[in-house]
Amino acid sequence: MVGAIEQLEREQDALERSSDMLRTLQQQFTELSAAQEATEAALSEATVARATATEKRLQATQAHDACAILFDAMPEPARDRYFPLLQDWRTEALGAHSLTMESCEQRERDMRSFLQARIDGDASKLATLCDRIIRAMQDYTKAWPLDTCEVDVNIDAAGEFGNMLDALQADDLPRFAVRFKELLNENTIREIAGFQSQLKRERETIRERIATINGSLQAIDYNPSRYIALEAELNVDADLRDFQQDLRTCTDGGADRLG
């Protein structure tokens, strides 16, 4: 009987140990299942991230290859000339920034908008300058119609107008024009002075002839102790007086210029 009880106790102890072991295994299984699920979730996220990174890498590779084709197609002198300008304009247009695959497209649009605004501004300035050039051409053709009768008034004819300018400068016509104007002024002043002198001589001649006539008239005795005499009086006409004043002004100012 005692032996049966001991055997039963041993079996009960073994059963309790088995139960404890089972609970431990069950807990470990639960923890391992949770860890497995977490690992599978992380693996899934990593797989998605890897696929996304692979897609980005593919897109970056394609964009790089496309840019490389454009880069190789551009002549080297053009690259040397324009790339430094683009680098400066990039800083001016975008300010402080960092480029990523995600931001490249937007930065490209920003840069394009900036450059288009500069192009539009320069085009407006160029149009204004073209209008000024054309007006200058029109003024020149009106002033010198014989010399420009075969020249079109448009911006494409700038070369022809440049050739005319070169010819004028080669002939040194501006210097001759200045000298011609100087001689014209001097000769005009001399002619005016000569004209004024002639007027004075004519005035004296008239006075002399009046004196001669008066001498003859004095010999005629109209009445006792009386005779007729002509008197020379200045003309009081306003236009004539202004004309004489203008003559004096011209010759007085021209004497200093003639030296």
Q: Are 121 and 113 in contact (CB under 8 A)?
A: no
The predicted pLDDT at position 172 comes to: 64
Cα three-residue angle 210-215-221, rounded to 5 degrees: 125
Please report, as a single letter, which amino acid is at residue 187. Answer: N
The predicted pLDDT at position 121 comes to: 92
> How far apart are the C-alpha atoms of 59 and 6, rounded to whole Å?
77
Hey, what are 149's tokens? 């009768």
The predicted pLDDT at position 123 comes to: 92
Residue ranges covered by each domain of the chain: 114-171, 174-258
Q: Report long-range pairs for 102-107 (Cβ below 8 Å, ≥24 apart).
A: 104/63
Is the pLDDT confidence value at 252 over 90? no
Those residues whose C-beta lies under 8 Å from the C-beta of residue 79, and which sit 6 or more positions away, are 71
- pTM higher than 0.75: no
pLDDT-derived band of residue 3, with 50, 70 and 90 as boundaries?
low
Burial class (CB in 10 A: 0-12, 13-18, 19+), 52: exposed
- pLDDT one-digit tens code per residue, 79-125: 888 888 888 888 888 877 777 777 778 888 888 888 899 899 999 99
Greater model confidence, 47 or 183: 47
The CB-side HSE value for 97 (13 A sphere, CA atoms) comes to: 17
pLDDT-derived band of residue 257, with 50, 70 and 90 as boundaries?
very low
> How far apart are the C-alpha atoms of 153 and 161, rounded to whole Å?
9
> How far apart are the C-alpha atoms of 236 and 117, rounded to whole Å?
73
> How far apart are the C-alpha atoms of 190 and 210, rounded to whole Å?
30
Arithmetic mean of pLDDT, 7-24: 75
- The widest CA-to-CA distance across the chain, in whole angstroms, is 213
Q: Are 202 and 187 in contact (CB under 8 A)?
A: no
Average pLDDT, the chain: 80
> How far apart are the C-alpha atoms of 93 and 70, rounded to whole Å?
22
The predicted pLDDT at position 236 comes to: 67
The predicted pLDDT at position 5 comes to: 66
Is the pLDDT confidence value at 7 over 80? no
Is the pLDDT confidence value at 253 over 60? no
Q: Are 257 and 189 in contact (CB under 8 A)?
A: yes
- pLDDT one-digit tens code per residue, 140-183: 888 888 888 888 888 888 888 888 888 877 776 666 666 667 76
Q: Report long-range pairs for 185-188 (Cβ below 8 Å, ≥24 apart).
A: 185/254, 185/257, 186/254, 186/257, 186/258
